Amino acid sequence: MQVIENLKVKEKAYIEKLKNGLTIIIVPKAGIRKKYVIFGTHYGSNDSKFIVPGENEVTEVPKGVAHFLEHKMFEQENGRNSLDVLSSLGVNANAYTTNTHTAFLYECTDNFYEALDEFMDYVQHPYFTDENVEKEKGIIGQEIMMYDDYPEWKVYLNALEAMYHNNPVKLDITGTIETISHIDKEILYKCYNTFYNPSNMCLVVCGDFVPEEILKEIEKRLINKNSSGEIKRIYEEEDESIVKPNIEVKMDVSIPLFTMGIKCKPANQTQKVKKDIAISILLNMIIGESSTLYQDLYKSGILLNSPSYEFDFTNEYAHILISGSSRNPQEFYNKLNEEIKNLKTNGLDKENFERIKKKLYGEYIKEYNDVSDIARMFLNDFMNGINSFEYLEEITSIDINYLEQVLKNDFDTEKMVFSVIKNS
């Protein structure tokens, strides 16, 4: 097993790549009762056009298949629902789908190995029939309609649609009622057999384990399946420009909601972590709770609470999002624009930079206190080609000159979009 270590948090990660291509990451936490397992496949809602290993023709499937598959994985041929089985063992099980990957997980303090039996079994044994696929369309259709009526989700999606011309990140992860109507069991099996191959998957386990012992337990529960080779994913070319700067819709909201987005150029692999940290520091400095801008907007009543912010990135796309509620969204947008231009012109405050950098470093350290945070972090970063320990190393290399360079290049007001939802 390969062992990677970070002395700052005194943590080790044991990494084993099996002959079938499956990557297993074990992060031992001695003396911790809670145990956490997450099994992910590098298959998300963006992957609807691809070439199956060994084939030459392009396969295109309806939008929403990855999420549909996640829903269907729990239903077993013996009539049981694996989620119910795991719940009966007293473990907390769940699953989720993102733009880039799908993950199945559970956490517990007791009955870990009994739960592992069920967990490894259902992820490796799909069961789809015409009947259960049709039934699921109704369930997911209700979920889609629910999200269509959810203003916080709509304002976010509208911002992505205003930013992206072709990239599928702008589409709802669930698909639409129209797209899921074309899903059948043959499509589900094809996507499962393509993307749920061990060579396209990663399993992370965190808790009080001896790495060699838990590795053996996982291996003996794996079915015999060979590595399939590389899946060629096909995405349409994306122009660097935005689609439109503003989008406003009316829904039933008591206070207007907003999402401000900035379309960025994806960083190369060696710069991903450094750029992610830099943008996190900048967002804290610009609109974090301790920022001058936030304090002014809060005191004047333009902002009612602290907005959320994030930087989302892969090899194909990258964007900054700032979301919240405001009595006067346009005033918030104008003030934010002014602040970004002001910082570009006058430079960043070095003392404030050092303080925010220390704050962020403390947050990275804190993530290693909880087994669920650790496991999800390692899986998410693995799917992005990143070793999670890199954040603790890279943050020390960031200086104010690099930060000002990122501010200039990535906080481009020409690539800003502003999505607003007001009361109908």
- Dump pLDDT digits (tens) for 128-165: 999 999 999 999 999 888 888 899 999 999 999 999 99
Residue 139 within any structural domain of the chain? yes
Regarding whether 120 and 193 lie in a shared domain, the answer is: yes
Check residue 25 and give its pLDDT.
98
Which strands form 2-6's sheet, in the order they lie side by side?
2-6, 11-17, 23-28, 201-207, 35-41, 102-108, 92-97
Among 200, 233, 266, which residue terminates a domain? Answer: 233
Regarding whether 279 and 250 lie in a shared domain, the answer is: yes
Residue 240 within any structural domain of the chain? no
Per-residue pLDDT reduced to its tens digit, 226-242 = 888 899 999 999 999 99
Residue 39 within any structural domain of the chain? yes
Which is more confidently placed, 262 or 148? 262
Regarding whether 175 and 252 lie in a shared domain, the answer is: no
Rounded average pLDDT over 195-220: 96
Check residue 153 and give its pLDDT.
93
Residue 69 within any structural domain of the chain? yes
pLDDT band at 268 (very low <50, low <70, confident <90, very high): confident
pLDDT above 90 for 208 = yes
What mean pLDDT is reported for the chain? Answer: 94
Regarding whether 158 and 106 lie in a shared domain, the answer is: yes
Regarding whether 261 and 195 lie in a shared domain, the answer is: no
Regarding whether 275 and 228 lie in a shared domain, the answer is: no
Residue 161 within any structural domain of the chain? yes
- Predicted TM-score (pTM) of this structure: 0.92
User: Is 102 within 8 Å of 380 (Cβ atoms)?
Assistant: no
Rounded average pLDDT over 378-382: 96
Regarding whether 143 and 53 lie in a shared domain, the answer is: yes
Per-residue pLDDT reduced to its tens digit, 9-31 = 899 999 999 999 999 999 999 99
Rounded average pLDDT over 359-386: 94
The helix or strand, by DSSP H or E, that contains position 58, with its residue range, turns out to be none
Number of structural domains found in the chain:
2
Q: How many angstroms separate the most distant Cα atoms in the chain?
A: 67
Sequence-distant (≥ 6) Cβ neighbours of residue 13 within 8 angstroms = 3, 4, 5, 25, 26, 27, 378, 388, 389
| Residues spanned by the domain of 366 | 246-423
What is the rounded end-to-end Cα distance, in angstroms, of the chain? 59
Residue 17 within any structural domain of the chain? yes
Regarding whether 342 and 296 lie in a shared domain, the answer is: yes
Write out the DSSP string of 325-380: EBS-HHHHHHHHHHHHHHHHHH---HHHHHHHHHHHHHHHHHGGG-HHHHHHHHHH
Regarding whether 331 and 268 lie in a shared domain, the answer is: yes
Burial degree of 190 (CB within 10 A; 0-12, 13-18, 19+): middle
Per-residue pLDDT reduced to its tens digit, 305-314 = 999 999 999 9
Angstrom distance (rounded) from CA 159 to CA 162? 5
Residue 238 within any structural domain of the chain? no
User: Is 97 within 8 Å of 70 (Cβ atoms)?
Assistant: yes
Active-site residues, by number, are 70
Percent of the chain surpassing pLDDT 70:
100
Burial degree of 92 (CB within 10 A; 0-12, 13-18, 19+): middle
CATH number for the domain harbouring residue 309: 3.30.830.10
Residue 241 within any structural domain of the chain? no
Check residue 424 and give its pLDDT.
75
pLDDT above 80 for 291 = yes
Among 233, 256, 285, which residue terminates a domain? Answer: 233
Rounded average pLDDT over 300-326: 94
Regarding whether 228 and 185 lie in a shared domain, the answer is: yes
Regarding whether 294 and 201 lie in a shared domain, the answer is: no
Regarding whether 210 and 267 lie in a shared domain, the answer is: no
